[in-house]
Amino acid sequence: MPLRRLPILLTASLLVSVTLPAKARTSDCSAQRQAISEQLHQARLLGDRVTQTDLETRLKTLNVRCRGMQPLQANRLAIDQANQLVRQREAQLREALAEGDAGRIQLRQRQLDTARRWLEAARE
């Protein structure tokens, strides 16, 4: 085959691969989703938490890839961590209030205020 025809064949194959994958991708995603769901069901029946967590992560990743979804907030991890810190600081403040130590209450209140500011900053 002459080398002149190679670019034409490559272009044609790219066009075919661009137009076909939409339907093939949905059926491929469906098949993969079904297989992972079945494995996840078996892991739940067996009580295998490690495999279950891994399969749930794989299923979420597959759903994002197949649907082309993007997270609504790029810094979702930072927001989740800040939320966790706020909950922790609130619990510490409740403990300090139960003890009645004014110094600890003030310290915990300042820490809670700082955690809330971090949460607001992460949300912006």
46, 67, 88 - which closes a domain: 67
Neighbours of 10 (CB within 10 A): 10
Q: Say yes or no: 62 and 11 in one domain.
A: yes
Tens of pLDDT, residue by residue over 2-43, are 545 544 544 544 444 444 444 445 668 888 888 988 898 888
pTM (predicted TM-score) = 0.43
Any idea which of 23-32, 36-45, 81-90, 92-101 has the lowest mean pLDDT? 23-32
Cβ neighbours around 96 below 10 Å, total: 19
Q: How far apart are CA 46 and CA 41, in angstroms?
A: 9
Boundary (domain end) residue, out of 26, 47, 67:
67
Q: How far apart are CA 122 and CA 124, in angstroms?
A: 6
Domain end call among 67, 91, 109: 67
Residues spanned by the domain of 99? 76-123
Q: Where are the alpha helices (DSSP H) in 47-75?
A: 49-67
When divided into structural domains, the chain yields a total of: 2
